[in-house]
Amino acid sequence: MQFRDLKKQYTVLKEEMDQAILDVVASSAYVMGPKIKEMELAFADYVGVKHCIACNSGTDALLLALKAWGVKPGDAVFVPSFTFFASAEVIAMQGATPVFVDVDPVTFNIDVNDLDAKIKRVIDRGVLTPKVVIAVDLFGLPADFEAVRRVADRYRLYVLEDAAQGFGGRIGSENACTFGDISTTSFFPAKPVGCYGDGGAVFTNNDEWAALIESYHIHGKGSDRYDNVRIGMNSRLDSLQAAILLVKLKAFKDFELVDVNTVANRYTEKLSGVVTTPVVPDGFYSSWAQYTIQLADKETRYALQAALKENDIPTAIYYPIPMHRQTAFCDLDLSDNQCPVSDLLADRVLSLPIHPYLTETDQDRICEVIRSFMSLSQPKK
């Protein structure tokens, strides 16, 4: 069994995919060809935002957003502690200081009360300037952006939506990748919409920031191709990946997003009362980048993981070490940067196989192993 069955997906999309790839190969337009514009328009249209700039990874997409805002040493950027390293890494890459915020124990997303408290503390200390809050749509569920926005507006911070896992999610009728002043996503193969390598995109309605990001992602280009007006990066998306993404987006819209939600709902039906299942709040829709359950403690989590492995069922732990405990950040003064919920989740979470092509037979087998493990591990009365 696969954790995320990309091979199965390829066999389903093969005919269209092979043609799309061969067309680019035959065109010889490998870098910044017409496929890039086509892909950017299709993704901007799907999301419902004015500008989409394709780039080389979800990490670069975050970095480009911070560059557009001129984030620099002395700035504080608030980021959840329970996330993938890249969300926080980009802050340090700009020379700014990450301030780690705890997450909600139910949604796994940024806790706005802790955000408010952490911003206040930075202001009280008077050393750093609060500049940006990065809210992550963890495991596919959009963060509570209405609440994030309220706090951000109070302190005049930019909101950056890290939708690397959130593409396809919604709040009401609004799509993920529209909630930030700038929003970003990743096309890493295992994300909700992935390409066949690294890729990412930046989304915004702001013309000025879009123009800056367009420039930054191609060596700080100016209007003259060989007059570079700022120091930028080489972060173009390959035309091949753009062609692949156009095929993937179509499948995602046509059936994959709905199918992965069916799989998730079925898990919840079969596992609620057995383990702690993920919760999607009213009005929210998840793209289910991960289906993450919680166990009572670390020992139970690892024992269940081993039991599943014995039955040839792959699982993953996202994430075993929160940001405020990462070695790379050990030089930061984190004495007043507590994130107890992130610590707790790091010990308790376990992500199960999930993708649109997971069969009911495989899913039943997974649930059966979990059920029998949990019934055996119940404390004896």
Ligand X SMILES: *Cc1c(COP(=O)(O)O)cnc(C)c1O
In three-state secondary structure terms, 286 is: coil
Contact 292, 139 (CB under 8 A): yes
Q: Smallest distance, Å, CB 124 to ligand X?
A: 29
164 binds ligand X (CB under 6 A): yes
Q: At 16, which helix (H) or strand (E)? A: helix 6-27
CB of 202 to ligand X, least distance (A): 12
CA–CA dist 26, 303 (Å, integer) = 51
Pick from 17, 44, 79, 86 the residue near ligand X by CB under 6 A.
86
Tell me the per-residue interface mask from 169 to 188 with ligand X, x by CB under 6 A, - otherwise. -----------------x-x
Which one of 9, 24, 58, 363 is in contact with ligand X (CB under 6 A)? 58
Tokens (6 digits) for 372: 């029998």
10 Å CB burial of residue 254 (0-12, 13-18, 19+) is exposed
Give the range of 82-90, 114-122, 228-236, 296-304 binding ligand X by CB under 6 A: 82-90
Task: Choose which of 9, 81, 83, 337 interacts with ligand X (CB under 6 A).
Answer: 83
| Binding test (CB under 6 A) with ligand X, winner from 84, 267, 284, 288 | 84
Q: Is 151 left (phi over 0), alpha (psi -120 to 50) or beta?
A: alpha
CA-CA distance, 170 to 258, in Å (whole number)? 13
State the nearest-atom distance from the C-beta of 56 to ligand X, in Å: 8
Q: Quote the least distance from Cβ 165 to ligand X, whole Å.
A: 5
Q: Which stretch binds ligand X (CB under 6 A): 45-53, 150-158, 161-169, 244-252?
A: 161-169
* Closer residue to ligand X, CB minimum distance, 185 or 300: 185
Contact call for residue 162 and ligand X (CB under 6 A): yes
Calculate the alpha carbon distances from 208 to 57, 172, 200, 227 in Å: 22, 28, 20, 19
Q: How far apart are CA 225 and CA 227, in angstroms?
A: 6
Which residue stretch of 47-55, 159-167, 212-220, 295-303 sits at the interface with ligand X (rule: CB under 6 A)? 159-167
Task: Tell which one of 81, 109, 165, 315 touches ligand X (CB under 6 A).
Answer: 165
**Total Cβ atoms within 10 A of residue 272:** 11
- Judged by beta carbon, residue 55 or residue 171, the one nearer ligand X is 55
Q: Which of 59, 109, 239, 315 binds ligand X (CB under 6 A)?
A: 59
| 169 and 145 Cβ atoms separated by less than 8 Å | no
Site string for ligand X, 273-312 (x = CB under 6 A): ----------------------------------------
Q: Shortest approach of ligand X to residue 93 CB, angstroms?
A: 12
Question: Which C-beta is closer to ligand X: that of 200 or that of 232?
Answer: 200
Of 59 and 300, which has the nearer Cβ to ligand X? 59
Residue (of 146, 147, 174, 142) closest to 161 by Cα position: 142
Question: Whole-angstrom Cα distance, residue 188 to residue 361?
Answer: 28
Identified binder of ligand X from the candidate list 57, 97, 183, 363, rule CB under 6 A: 57
75 φ, ψ to 5°? -90, 145
The smaller minimum CB distance to ligand X, of residues 71 and 164, is found at 164
- Residues with Cβ < 8 Å from 138, sequence gap 6 or more? 80, 82, 83, 103, 107, 108, 109, 165
Residues that bind ligand X (CB under 6 A): 57-59, 83-84, 86-87, 136, 162, 164-165, 186, 188, 198, 200
